[in-house]
Amino acid sequence: MTVRNQIRVGGQFVIPKTGNVYLVVAMNIENHGDEPFNMHPLINTYAIIGGIKYGTALVLDLENRLPEEIVILKGDTIEGNLAFEVPTDVAINRCHLTYENSLTHNIEWICRNLSMQ
């Protein structure tokens, strides 16, 4: 994992709150269900680390950021990155991702990479 305390956005730096960093999760989202899966990744998407839930951080120019609205058809996969603002001292060796509106869908979240930025 690499650690950064700022992300460059259009010539400026987006800086998390004091004592926090951005956790950038590179992921695949696969639809194993029979119906299309609609989601808004910046809403109701959480990284659960050590039993604590962290919501997404709005970092518009994040490299390969997931779109604001996604439709994943049956059998399809989408890949991209999401950022979460977490405390600098959080021990991240494992991260569980959840989208709270996906309880009735057969969706698999596959983390490809975690990096602290």
Dist. CA 37–CA 31, nearest whole Å:
7
pLDDT at 2: 37
pLDDT tens per residue across span 56-104: 888 777 888 888 888 989 999 989 888 888 888 887 767 777 777 655 6
Give the pLDDT score at 50. 82
Q: Is the pTM of this model over 0.85?
A: no
Q: How far apart are CA 51 and CA 38, in angstroms?
A: 26
Contact between 65 and 82 under an 8 Å Cβ cutoff? The reply is yes
